[in-house]
Amino acid sequence: MDTTVASDHLAPRPGTGTATGPGTAVATSEQLIGTLPPDFRWGAATSAYQIEGAVAEDGRTPSIWDTFCRVPGAIDNGENGDTACDHYHRVSEDVALMKRLGLDAYRFSISWPRVQPGGRGPANERGLDFYERLVDALLEAGVEPWPTLFHWDLPQELEDAGGWPNRETAYRFADYAELVYRRLGDRVKVWTTLNEPSVVTTHGYLSGVHAPGRTSLADAVAAAHHQMLGHGLVGQRLRALAAEAGNPFELAVTLNLGPATPESDAPEDHEAVRRADGFNNRLYMDPLWFKRYPADVVEDLAARDVRIPVQDGDLELIGAPIDALGVNFYFGQQLSGRAEDGSTVDEGGVPVSRHVLQGLPRTAMGWEIMPDEFAELLTRVGREYPGVPVYVTENGAAFADEPDEKGYVHDVDRAAYIADHVAAVATARAAGTDIRGYFVWSLFDNFEWAYGYDKRFGIVRVDFETQQRTPKHSAEWYTETIRRVRG
Ligand code: FCB
C-alpha cells in the first residue's frame, strides 16, 4: 500500500470541512459540531496490547500477538508490544492526563492472557488487580470506564487449540468474561464484547497480515461465526450474573464498518461492492439485528465450498438485544470488479474486487479521507439497523508528525480530520441516527499492529525512548471542543 501523504494536504485548517449540514446552507465542521447536544459523550480509545507493555509481568502469558511479533517480517522494523507505552506502570499518570483533557469516557481493552493466563481455568488475581486499579482511578477522576473484552490478543494456548475457527473458543470467551465481570461488574456500566471481528476474520485468518497469520477462507468464516457466538454467549452469561447481583449494565459490540462504492456503473463493479459490503459489514450486522446471515453472502461462500458453521440456537444467542452499537470508521473503498488486465476472476476463479483510489487526500496509512462517506454510513446504520444507540468507538488518523524540540506536535492535519469526522456524526444525527458519543483513536501514539510504532494515531505524543507524554495540538483542540459543546 502506498503510504505517502500528498504535501498539499499536510496543513489544512482544522474544522473547515464542508459537509452538508441540517438546513439548506453548507455548514462548516465547527458549526455542525456545535449542533451536538451538551450530553454527547466524548472519549478516547486504546487497546491492551497496543499500550500496556509488561507482557511477562504478574503472571501474564503470551497472546497470539506476542507470538506473531516474533515471526520474521511480520511487523515493520521487527517491533513488538513488549514495552509499548508502558501504560501498565503508568496508570495514575495516564488517568490524570485523561482528566486534564476533559474526557467523559475512556475506552480500553482487557488482556485475556493477563486475566486468565492460558485462556482457561481460574483468574489471575494480579492481572485483575491492574484493571481494578485502572477502573477505580478512572471513576475517581470522573472518567467513565468503557472496557472491551476482546481486542485481538487471544491467549496463545487457545490458538494452539484451534483459535477462533474452533467453536470451543467461544465458550472459553464467556468463562473469561465472567472472571472479569465478577471483579468489576459493580463498577463498569457498559461492557463491550468484541472489537472489530471482521478484522480478525480477514486479517488474522484470511490474508494473514495479523496474528495468528492464517490464510484460509474456511477458517476465516468459522472465526467470524465463533466470534459472534462468543459475543452472544458473553451477553447471556453477563446478563445472568447481573440479574443475580441486581446490577444492570449495557451490552455493546464494536464493529468496523467500511462503506464501499462502485468505480463505475458496470454490473461487475456493483457486484464487487455487494460482496464487500456483505462480507465485511452485513455478515456481522444481520445476525445481530435479524438473527440470520445474509443469503447472498451464504451463496457467495457456497460457490467457494465454504459454509458458515451455524448450529441450532446460535442465531438466537447472537441476535439477543444489545444496548449499544460501537462503530469504528477509518475509510471507505471504491471498488472495481475487474483486475487491471480487465479480467473479472482471478487465477483461482474467484471474482475480482480491486480497490481503486479516488484521488482524495490520504493519511500516513494511505487511507483516503472521506468524512462524507462516514456521514452516509452512519445514516445508513440508523435507517437499516434501527433501534440501538450508536457510539463511534474509534475514528482518527495517522500523520507524519514532526515534533518540535519540546516534543510538541502542531498536528493541524489530525485536528482537521477529527473535526470533519465529528461533523459527519452531527450530520448523521440530524438525519435521524441516534449517535450518542465519539471516541477518538487514539489517546496515545502506540503499537499499530503490523506497522509497529511508525504510524502515530495519538492526540498525545509518546516519546518511546523516554515514555514522555505530550498532548498535541489535536488534543488541545479536542479539549476545547468538548468544553464548547458541553456549554
Ligand atoms: C482499528 C483497530 C485499532 C487501531 C486502528 C488504527 O482497526 O481497532 O486497534 O489499530 O484500527
Distance from C-alpha of 381 to C-alpha of 425, rounded to nearest angstrom: 12
- Does residue 20 register a pLDDT over 50? no
Burial environment of residue 320 by CB neighbours within 10 A (0 to 12, 13 to 18, 19 or more): middle
- Does residue 8 register a pLDDT over 70? no
Q: Tell me if 457 CB under 6 Å of ligand 1.
A: yes
Other CB atoms within 10 A of residue 309 CB: 15
Taking only the tens place, the pLDDT of each residue in 337-362 is 999 999 999 999 999 999 999 999 99
Q: Which three cell numbers stand for residue 258?
A: 467500511
Q: Tell me if 444 CB under 6 Å of ligand 1.
A: no
- Does residue 22 register a pLDDT over 80? no
Distance from C-alpha of 416 to C-alpha of 397, rounded to nearest angstrom: 10
State the pLDDT at residue 11: 31
- Which contiguous run of DSSP H or E holds residue 253? strand 250-256
Pocket test for ligand 1, best of 280, 449, 457, 459 (most atoms within 8 A of CB): 449
Q: Which of 196, 263, 373, 448 is catalytic?
A: 196
Yes or no: say if 65 and 49 are a contact pair by the CB < 8 Å rule. yes
Taking only the tens place, the pLDDT of each residue in 200-219 is 999 999 999 999 999 999 99
Share of the chain above pLDDT 70, in %: 95
Residue 1: pLDDT band by 50, 70, 90 thresholds?
Answer: very low
Taking only the tens place, the pLDDT of each residue in 294-307 is 999 999 999 999 99
Q: Which three cell numbers stand for residue 355?
A: 480497490
Question: What's the 143 CA to ligand 1 centre distance in angstroms?
Answer: 22
- Does residue 136 register a pLDDT over 80? yes
State the pLDDT at residue 25: 58
- Does residue 6 register a pLDDT over 90? no
pTM comes to 0.95
- E-assigned strand segments in 321-401: 324-328, 333-336, 354-355, 390-394
**Residue 394 catalytic?**
yes
324 DSSP β-pair partners: 252
3-state secondary structure of 261: strand
Cα dist. 313→230, 237, 291, 320 in Å?
A: 13, 15, 10, 11
Q: Which three cell numbers stand for residue 197?
A: 471481528
- Which contiguous run of DSSP H or E holds residue 382? helix 371-384
Closest atom of ligand 1 to 256 CA is 7
State the pLDDT at residue 190: 98
Taking only the tens place, the pLDDT of each residue in 68-77 is 999 999 999 9
- Does residue 142 register a pLDDT over 70? yes
CA-nearest residue, atom 9 of ligand 1: 47
- Does residue 13 register a pLDDT over 50? no
State the pLDDT at residue 26: 72
Question: What's the 329 CA to ligand 1 centre distance in angstroms?
Answer: 9
CA-nearest residue, atom 2 of ligand 1: 196
Q: Tell me if 448 CB under 6 Å of ligand 1.
A: yes
Q: Give the length of the chain.
A: 487
Taking only the tens place, the pLDDT of each residue in 83-120 is 999 999 999 999 999 999 999 999 999 999 999 999 99
Residue appearing with cell numbers 433501534: 387
Other CB atoms within 10 A of residue 430 CB: 17
Q: Tell me if 47 CB under 6 Å of ligand 1.
A: yes
Contacts of 412 (CB under 8 A, 6+ apart): 11, 12, 13, 14, 473
- Does residue 460 register a pLDDT over 50? yes
- Does residue 5 register a pLDDT over 60? no
Taking only the tens place, the pLDDT of each residue in 156-183 is 999 999 999 999 999 999 999 999 999 9
- Does residue 18 register a pLDDT over 70? no
Share of the chain above pLDDT 90, in %: 94
**Residue 168 catalytic?**
no
Q: Which three cell numbers stand for residue 41?
A: 459523550
Whether residue 442 is preceded by a cis peptide bond, meaning omega within 30 degrees of 0, is yes
Q: Tell me if 449 CB under 6 Å of ligand 1.
A: yes
Helices (H), 102-216: 112-115, 125-141, 156-160, 168-184, 197-199
- Does residue 7 register a pLDDT over 70? no
Q: Mean pLDDT throughout 411-423?
A: 98
- Which contiguous run of DSSP H or E holds residue 403? none
Beta-sheet pairing, 460-463 with 468-471: antiparallel
Taking only the tens place, the pLDDT of each residue in 222-265 is 999 999 999 999 999 999 999 999 999 999 999 999 999 999 99
Contacts of 56 (CB under 8 A, 6+ apart): none
- Does residue 133 register a pLDDT over 60? yes
Report the half-sphere exposure of 146 (CA within 13 A, side-chain side).
29
- Does residue 15 register a pLDDT over 80? no
Q: Tell me if 391 CB under 6 Å of ligand 1.
A: no
Q: Tell me if 195 CB under 6 Å of ligand 1.
A: yes
Q: In the predicted model, what is the mean pLDDT of the chain?
A: 95
